[in-house]
A and B are shown apart, each in its own frame.
Chain A
Amino acid sequence: MFEPVMYTGGVYKHGQIAELVEDLGGYILQKNIMQTEVVLLLLVPLEDMAIVEAKTAELLGKLTRAPLTGTEIATVAPTLAYHHLPHLDCDVAEFLRKKGAKTNMVGLARGVGKRICQLSAYERDLINEHDLAVFILGNYEHCIIEKSKKLYEGIEIPIIVTGAPELRTEDVPNATAYVGSFGRILHQMRHSEELRTLDKLADVIGNVLDNVRKEIAKDPPAVAPSRIKKEIEDQVHEIIDSLHPLPITLQINGARVKLPYEEYHEMIENLKFVEGVTLKEVAHVLPSKMRNFILIKAKPKSETGFVI
């Protein structure tokens, strides 16, 4: 079991923490250096947390649990017009990013209105590639409920809905969870009350994802996504030249590799692990709906019969 954590501290000697985590068998998922500060997203083996905490204290850094680490979340707005952007959507996306998730913003083509809203097949497939979708809806209870009845048709991942009224989750059809006090806000969310609302959203998402993880743990993936990431980084050198943000984006049971599918899918399918298996034996390598990227979904243990 790995604990997802975020390390914030000075650039000086931060390499020591990275090396320690690697030596303990953990993974470094992301490294952001901002002038004199560094933010590391780490997966640390649960039993070794104390050692990492001690090292963090020695380096005068800060270690916080980031439950959204290693997940890819879609924040969905009814459209990309002034009505929804930039404030609320960007605030939500940015906040979840701070908590460790990779967020992608999706603006629907015809997502407006309670009667006329639609989700196209492409949009549905694109959203389904993520671990979780946050639908950012508006001010009125009636509209949120009516819209929820049909907008999420075909979406198989957990759906979090946000809006202004304080509704119970049971009242919002098809939603996994509902978070109130949002609504259509046209200013930056920076008051303490608004930040608490964002915290609440992050907590709710954290809980939902923890449940997903528990569900997956019953039939664990044959290969850990962080392991896939490490092997690709070691064996496919072209990934270093990829200028996309997070060239290998982790998901709960897979990864998105930002290389063209046509050219690289064979190379990635035949990736060798030291255990003597290739990647295609433990995971499905699929074309992604996002550009022409590669989507890797780990096969469950029940399908392969072994875990590496």
Chain B
Amino acid sequence: MEQLETFIVESPDAVGAKTTKILIKDVLADLTLNRVIGRMKVYVDPVQPVFIFTALLRLTTPAIRLKDFAKVDMGALGKDEVKIELQREAFTVKLLNKLWEKYGKENIEQRDKKIIIVKVDPIKELDAMKEFVIDEPRQEVLDRLIDAIALRIIPEGFRVRKHELTASHVMFVASEDTLKPEWIQRGKDMLESLRSEENV
């Protein structure tokens, strides 16, 4: 899939549409979001006034769990402990912070660069610990996306907003006045047309 297969800014004001397109390009480049958005349609009507932003997302990176980069096993026989053997060190700092937060600093012991002992009941905790989410690049991307759309792209005066954000699409309808149902419907229609393009 190519990035930004559809990128349309519609507006009755042609100059405004052109400059808004440049503005969106700048923001996406600044926040390295080009690869995240597959198709995008924007509608602006300053007279109404309304700003509708719709896009289909391509979030690829899933959450990173403990089992993805470490072996999690029972500790020494007869002791209540879980042994974590790291295979990659890239996430050690985040992992330690998360473990300290959950189990308390006094229960975590790092004997070796790659071995961490957690003093908890292994029968209860072992399976949960394997699934422990250490990093969420997807969440971080979504945060950046919200930053881009809500804080940089939508005109600042448009403070009445409705948004829909899922892993597959994003829709923002914003205005200076109370939102009209037809604007929201228009946003939904725009999303629908993007989806049909995607499926062709």
Contacts and interface: CB of A to CB of B under 8 A. Distances in A.
Interface of A: 78-79, 81-84, 112-117, 138-143, 164-166, 183-187
Contacts of B11: 140
B27 A117 contact: no
B49 A139 contact: no
Interface string B132-168: 0000000000000000000110011111000000000
A117 B158 CA distance: 11
Looking at A140, A143, A164, the one whose CB has the most chain B CB atoms below 10 A away is: A140
Looking at B15, B20, B49, B159, the one whose CB has the most chain A CB atoms below 10 A away is: B15
B15 A186 contact: no
Interface of B: 11, 13, 15-16, 19-20, 22-23, 26-27, 30, 44, 46-47, 49, 151-152, 155-159, 176-177
Contacts of B27: 186
Given A82-B151, A142-B46, A186 B30 contact: yes
11 contacts: A81-B151, A112-B155, A112-B157, A113-B156, A140-B44, A142-B49, A165-B16, A183-B16, A184-B23, A185-B22, A186-B30
A69 B64 CA distance: 59
A182 B125 CA distance: 60
A116 B196 CA distance: 38
B16 A113 contact: no
B13 A142 contact: yes
Given A78-B156, A140-B46, A185-B23, A165 B176 contact: no
Nearest to B158: A113
Contacts of A141: 13, 15-16, 46
A143 B46 CA distance: 6
Main secondary structure of the interface of A (DSSP, over half): loop
A138 B155 contact: yes
A143 B48 CA distance: 11
A73 to B, nearest CB: 23
Q: Which 7 pairs from chain A and chain B are nearest by CB? A: A113-B157, A140-B46, A112-B157, A186-B26, A140-B16, A183-B19, A112-B156
B32 to A, nearest CB: 14
A141 B15 CA distance: 8
Contact of B176 (A79, A83, A114, A183): A114
B15 A165 contact: yes
Contact of B15 (A112, A113, A114, A164): A164
Contact of B19 (A113, A116, A142, A164): A164
A143 B157 CA distance: 10
Contacts of B159: 112-113, 116
B175 to A, nearest CB: 10
Nearest to B24: A186
Contacts of A139: 13, 15-16, 19-20, 23
Contacts of A116: 157, 159, 176
A83 B13 contact: no
A142 B155 contact: no
Contacts of B151: 81-83
B96 to A, nearest CB: 34
